[in-house]
Amino acid sequence: MITAIYPGSFDPVTLGHLNIIRRAAKLFDQVVVCVMPNAGKRPMFSLTERVDFISRTVARFPNVRADSSDILLAEYAKNFEKSVIVKGLRAVSDFENEFQMALINNKINEQLDTVFLSAGERYMFLSSSAVKEIARYGADLRAFVPCEILDDVARRAKELRD
Ligand code: ADP
């Protein structure tokens, strides 16, 4: 049984993330989408909210679940019998950072490999930061975030605007 761990900040989960989740769910026995607090970023949504958004979005996939962790990913991976890290690559700009992380994780836990999936063509441009930016202007988010969380994202953006 191979578990794919898909880590990120998911602030919030986007259709780009969902595209990677859907494809990983076909490739691996189980997918755990793991929300990691990102010390460098000030989030729009709490860790609990982000996990809840993902849980609602992936409810349709029987082999996918959401979790969160504030320990080193290479340590977290030891919770599973066999695991790989899954990452989405949008453009060359993602590559350097992701490649560095993959090497570091493998250095800390040499059982742990990282598998890269290319971003879905339609979602190459999509990032959580872009979603937050356009949400602040009250724009229609249907092309960017899963329908299960549309209202929550729009509501929070409005609260921050008012
Ligand atoms: P973001 O960069 O949108 O803030 P995260 O930090 O939550 O996203 O990223 C988690 C993972 O998802 C990373 O591997 C990132 O490269 C990947 N990812 C983010 N957006 C997309 C997308 N639109 N298509 C494919 N992969 C993506």
Q: Which atom of ligand 1 is nearest to the CA of 38?
A: 6
CATH superfamily of 3-124: HUPs (3.40.50.620)
Measure 10 CA to ligand 1 centroid, in angstroms.
8
Q: Which atom of ligand 1 is nearest to the CA of 88?
A: 26
How distant is the alpha carbon of residue 30 from its chain centre? 15
Sequential DSSP letters for 95-152: HHHHHHHHHHHHHH-TT-EEEEEEPPGGGTT--HHHHHHHHHTT---TTTS-GGGHHH
- Which amino acid is residue 88, in one-letter code? G
Identify the pLDDT of residue 162.
81
Query: Active-site residue 90, yes or no?
Result: yes
Structure confidence by residue, pLDDT tens digits, 94-113: 889 999 999 999 999 999 99
Query: Active-site residue 128, yes or no?
Result: yes
Measure 12 CA to ligand 1 centroid, in angstroms.
10
pLDDT at 39 over 90: no
Query: Active-site residue 41, yes or no?
Result: yes
DSSP annotation of 77:
G
pLDDT at 85 over 80: yes
CA distance 43 to 84: 26
Structure confidence by residue, pLDDT tens digits, 115-149: 999 999 999 999 999 999 999 999 999 999 999 99
Measure 15 CA to ligand 1 centroid, in angstroms.
10
* H or E segment and range at residue 160: helix 150-161
